[in-house]
Amino acid sequence: MSTNTKVAAGTPLTTQPNITLAQSKRHYATEDACKALLRDMRWPDGPRCPRCQSDKVYALKARPFHWVCKNKDCGGRNGYRFSVITKTIFENTNYPLKTWVEVISLMGQSKKGISALHIHRQIGSGDYRTPWFMCHRIRAAMKDEAFPKLMGTVEVDETYIGGKDRNRHWNKQSRQQREAGTRFGFGKSGAIGAISRKGNVVCQMMQHGDFKTYNGFVRKVVDQKVDLVATDENRTYNYLGLPHAAVKHSQHEYVRGEVHTNNMESFWSLLKRGVVGTFHNLSKEYLPLYLAEFQFRFNNRKNPDIFRAILAGCRGRHTGSGLSVVERPIRQGQIAMASIGYHFARNHHAQGKTAFTSSTDIP
Ligand SMILES: [Zn+2]
């Protein structure tokens, strides 16, 4: 954050643990306890078929937490069988649910993000890839797709992550970088975000640094009745058609009364410290997942039960656009090192099988 003047930021992130690891271990010590929790969160009004949404389902006596859907159009003569983890992020994994519960509570607690390696040490999993894989799926569950539009005074700002090469003196840059010149997005990832003072943040990855991208983002996330949109002097913001004021960073102006982008910059620095300090080698592929994670944690900073909030995402969110990615089946063959979460969804999209919508994708 590059500011000389102290400005009252929004409510600071809570440092109070919502549910400690020891607590979650106690509460959900057995697979059955975890399954019961998941069942109650997923179907508060009783189990429904994840395929056809019918409530004409019957519990299989011999197999606890399994049901059969008797809708003929759904499962044919024998009916469609499903379990409590069918079409959730927990499907097609060999990890016990109580391990998932541990990882979820670890991720919910750490405000700066937590590395897969650290989780690996905490849960004592055999393979480092196990927590890495779990974390990405949980991040996919943190995608907050239905958010109210931002009101009041809203700060809009963009940032670039990675590609440190660019900031070096020209003769220390790689040849590749020099030749790329100022081409957008080369060697780094752009993200754009908006924050309502004392309210929520929305951020997403940016593919282009042009007017259409900025404008589209602001229209999507900022309410028309906003009091003020505060930005830096990036000229593309001048055409928003909303009450707008900018500070001139180039002239060392960072705060002019209400006009500043300090809260958004605080969020970016939290993200960068987390991403750079915790997740070495951030791949561009996964930036949307990290953005989702940090956005989710920031917006749930006052939520005393962030653990359950994450778990609620794991069973999928119902939005106007249909089911979210976590409600969709994840295929066995796609559980390889590089084919999880966001990546998985993109693969699916490329095959034209499902649409993937999220607040962290440019429309
Ligand atoms: Zn069904």
**d(CA 308, ligand 1 centre) in Å:** 27
Strand partners, 66: 83
**d(CA 51, ligand 1 centre) in Å:** 5
The span from the CA of 30 to the CA of 36, in Å, is 10
**d(CA 124, ligand 1 centre) in Å:** 38
Q: What is the pLDDT of residue 19?
A: 58
**d(CA 67, ligand 1 centre) in Å:** 10
Strand partners, 116: none
Dmax (CA) for the chain in angstroms is: 73
**d(CA 82, ligand 1 centre) in Å:** 9
**d(CA 85, ligand 1 centre) in Å:** 15
- Render pLDDT for 44-103 as a digit per residue (tens, 0 to 9): 899 999 999 999 999 999 999 999 999 989 988 889 999 999 888 888 777 888 888 888
**d(CA 91, ligand 1 centre) in Å:** 17
**d(CA 43, ligand 1 centre) in Å:** 14
- Render pLDDT for 159-168 as a digit per residue (tens, 0 to 9): 887 655 444 4
Give the 3-state secondary structure percentages of the chain, helix then strand then coil, rounded to 5.
40, 15, 45
**d(CA 80, ligand 1 centre) in Å:** 6
Domain ranges of the chain: 153-276
- The model carries a pTM of 0.71
**d(CA 70, ligand 1 centre) in Å:** 7
The span from the CA of 302 to the CA of 337, in Å, is 34
Q: What is the pLDDT of residue 187?
A: 60
**d(CA 251, ligand 1 centre) in Å:** 63
Integer Rg of the chain from CA: 22
Q: What is the pLDDT of residue 268?
A: 92
**d(CA 44, ligand 1 centre) in Å:** 18
**d(CA 73, ligand 1 centre) in Å:** 8
Q: What is the pLDDT of residue 57?
A: 95
User: At 347, which helix (H) or strand (E)?
Assistant: helix 341-350
Do 106 and 121 touch, CB atoms closer than 8 A? Answer: no
Q: What is the pLDDT of residue 61?
A: 93
Instruction: Tell which residue, 123, 60, 122, 127, has the closest CA to residue 97.
Output: 123
**d(CA 357, ligand 1 centre) in Å:** 24
The span from the CA of 299 to the CA of 281, in Å, is 26
Q: How far is CA 4 from CA 21, 50, 155, 158, in A?
A: 39, 54, 18, 20
**d(CA 46, ligand 1 centre) in Å:** 14
**d(CA 105, ligand 1 centre) in Å:** 32
**d(CA 280, ligand 1 centre) in Å:** 43
**d(CA 351, ligand 1 centre) in Å:** 24
Q: Which residues of the chain have pLDDT under 50?
A: 1-17, 165-173, 177-185, 316-363
**d(CA 52, ligand 1 centre) in Å:** 4
**d(CA 54, ligand 1 centre) in Å:** 6
Q: Which residues contact 286 (CB under 8 A, 6 or more apart)?
A: 136, 341, 342, 343
**d(CA 323, ligand 1 centre) in Å:** 15
**d(CA 121, ligand 1 centre) in Å:** 41
3-state secondary structure of 144: coil
**Angle (CA) 111 114 115, round 5°:** 160
Q: What is the pLDDT of residue 315?
A: 58
